[in-house]
Structure formats: C-alpha cells, structure tokens
Amino acid sequence: YAMLLSLIFLIVLVAAIVGFVFRHEIKTNFESNLNLALEDYNVTTDQHSEAVDTIQRTLHCCGVQNYSDWERTEYFRQRGIPRSCCKNQNDCSEEDLKDPSKAKLKVFVDGCFFLVTSTMESKMSVVAGISFGIACFQLIGIILSCCLSRYITNNQYEMV
C-alpha cells in the first residue's frame, strides 16, 4: 500500500513540476489554437466554434487580443463579428457587426487570450493549495502504512 501511494505521489509531483516548467509553452499553444479556432470559425455547430462562442459569452470578451482579430477571418467577410461578442444580444444587428467602427460600441472590446490566462493564473493558487493538501495526506498515509507494516512484522516474530 505504501508503494502504491508513493507511486501516485511521484506521478502527481512530476505532473505539477512539468506543468510549472512548461506553463509558457501552454500559453503560447493556447494562443495559437485560439487563433486557429477563429480562422476556422463557422456558422455550423462544430466543437471549435462552440468553444469560441462559450469563451466569448462567459468571459465577456471578443477575439484573441481584441475584437479586431475577427476582421482577418473569412467569417467576418461573410457575416461580420459573431453574435457571441455582443454586449446586448437584442441590440446587435448584422449590419452593425459587419462595420468595425459601429461594432466597437456594441461588442466586447477586450481579447479572450488575456482574460483566459489571467483567470487560469488566479485559480492556480487554489489548485496548488488543494494539491498540497492531497500530497500531505498521501505522505501521512505512506508513513502510517510503513509503521503498520513494521508493527505487523514485529508482532509475528514475537508470536513464534
């Protein structure tokens, strides 16, 4: 049992270290994937488009760096900025969304990349605290299982 807990503890420790070391690569990868999702955005319901819409609605943001990122997409040329960027869904017309100067007043101007990464970083302290607590319980379990093993072994020798 102590060996199993030790193995789990080492796996969690390695995962935490790798996540900390490669956090900048994770950010860069997320930014490039978000840019790709904007380029491939379409009206049909695919997972990438739904994810972009969910992020924009939930975090009240638009585009990667700002709302003008949509101007470089094929979707913008056809339909303008997506409705998920609108501050008020009832006040957004398709004509407004096709004109960047009008859209600036109707859509969220902040980009999603900064908001997503700052939200993740703000929650990292909670995740780190919970992970530290779990690691402490695992270490206590390892120590207690070793003590129990030693106690059982010592008592068997005394019986004989």
pLDDT at residue 43, rounded to an integer: 59
CA–CA dist 126, 14 (Å, integer): 19
The domain spans of the chain are 11-121
Tens of pLDDT, residues 11-46? 888 887 887 778 788 888 888 988 888 888 885 667
pLDDT at residue 160, rounded to an integer: 47
Q: What is the CATH number of domain 11-121?
A: 1.10.1450.10
